[in-house]
Structure 1
Amino acid sequence: MERLREQLEGVVWRFRTGSPWRDMPADHDIWTTAYQRVVQWCDSEVISVGVILRSLG
């Protein structure tokens, strides 16, 4: 469960900063893992692209 939290924090960091996935700090897990998690969440409709775009403000 701790890795999931790190991945979620990485996703939040990525969309908050607008930085490329590859620039994600290592303490938020490996960037490819966090990226794949977002893809899974979008595919399963856990999160929508609209939510992500709204979070960018």
Structure 2
Amino acid sequence: MLTGMMAGYRNAAICNELFITHSAAEKRINAIFAELQLPPSAARDRRVRTILEHLRVDAAAT
């Protein structure tokens, strides 16, 4: 899921790639947002913030 988001794919493309329903994709993406404590925001894109957080954690682990 995160790989698709990082590649810039929309939910529909992620669904096709992973052979899951749109509902399943939305649930997983919303679970990722919740885990990272990223509430909906009109000013900031949660998908971009999710990717940045992943990169930050990944860089800290190396």
TM-score, normalising length from structure 2? 0.43
Relative to total residues, which structure has the larger helix share, 1 or 2? Answer: 1
In our comparison, the structure showing a higher alpha carbon Rg is 2
Say which structure, 1 or 2, has more relative contact order (CA 8 Å, 6+ apart). 1
